[in-house]
Copies of this chain bind each other. A is one copy, B any other.
Amino acid sequence: MVIAIHGGAGTILRSSMTAELQQQYEQGLDHALLAGYSILQKGGSSIDAVESAVASLEDFAMFNAGKGSVFNNAGKHEMDASIMCGKTLDAGAVSAVSNVKNPVRLARAIMQHSEHVMLFGGGAEVFAKQYNIDFEDDEYFYNEFRYNQWQEALKEDRVQMDHSDKKFGTVGAVALDKEGNLAASTSTGGMTNKKFGRVGDSPIIGAGTYANNNTCAISCTGHGELFIRSVVAYDISCLMEYKGLSLKAACDIVVYDKLVKIGGEGGLVAIDKEGNIELPFNSEGMYRASIDADGNKTIKIYKD
């Protein structure tokens, strides 16, 4: 049983963090980690574990997903999420939904109850209502910090990442259960002040999320456009399957070489079928946490 989660990567500097803030982030990660791990401990599936871990991150207002989602150009919250089962290769994804409390639960419902993989916008919301997915009003998603971020971005007419200091706000989880099944999930509130219905890598199977019992489970966070063009999550799986690389070697090539060459800042969490964990990122920091096969828990933010 292994689980790893992230709360986004980017320019996360000790100098702009207080002890109190850091503790809150770590508590949020710890809470989500245990939400997933407790399911694995009870013999539950990896797909249930990643769904619960991501839902917990979505409920935590300090990460850019679910409740903590940033404002888009129209002053709305448009969220994306995806989930994939490594055993069946079933997948569900949702893009640009508003007022859905936990987009990951909608992605899961699409995976289980729809003949489709990806639904977007108002259509996805109609589907959500048919499957009793929880909705919340705009107030639930409001927070002053996000609002001020948006007002600033509006003034300067720019699209910005989660934090003014360039953070890629995304959350995600990967897990391996007792049965040896891998799963992955990713969720995001997108970019502050984003326009034109921009879709990043988070809801794209193969780019932001991928799981396959033959290789690995991956959830990404980073500069979405470059992650889409690099098909990052599936690239790691292919390097393992077709080139025989280890999870670490595959992650190193993709995150520290291929992505760096095209300016693709970010990182990912990864677990392979043997339960190895990799949490690589080429940015200053990445909110990340994991529990390995021996039960050792790690929660980290910075490079060291």
Binding site for B on A (CB under 8 A): 84, 89-91, 95-96, 114-124, 126-127, 159, 195-200, 204-207, 210, 224-225, 228-231, 234-235, 238-239, 242-243, 262
Contacts and interface: CB of A to CB of B under 8 A. Distances in A.
Tell which of A121, A199, A200, A204 has the most Cβ of chain B within 10 Å: A199
21 contacts: A89-B229, A89-B230, A90-B229, A91-B228, A95-B95, A116-B198, A116-B199, A116-B225, A117-B229, A120-B120, A122-B197, A123-B196, A127-B196, A205-B228, A205-B229, A206-B234, A231-B231, A234-B235, A234-B238, A238-B238, A239-B242
A120 B96 contact: yes
10 A-B pairs closest in CB distance: A123-B197, A238-B238, A242-B242, A206-B231, A123-B196, A118-B199, A120-B197, A242-B243, A127-B196, A231-B234
A159 B115 contact: yes
Contacts of A127: 195-196
Given A242-B243, A243-B242, A228 B118 contact: yes
Tell which of A84, A119, A195, A205 has the most Cβ of chain B within 10 Å: A205
A31 to B, nearest CB: 31
B121 A121 contact: yes
Nearest to A122: B197
A283 to B, nearest CB: 18
B91 A229 contact: yes
Contacts of A118: 198-200, 204, 228
Contacts of A91: 228-229
Contacts of A228: 91, 117-118, 205-206
B243 A231 contact: no
A209 to B, nearest CB: 11
A230 B231 CA distance: 12
Nearest to A126: B196
A127 B120 CA distance: 18
Contact of A120 (B89, B117, B199, B230): B199
B205 A119 contact: no
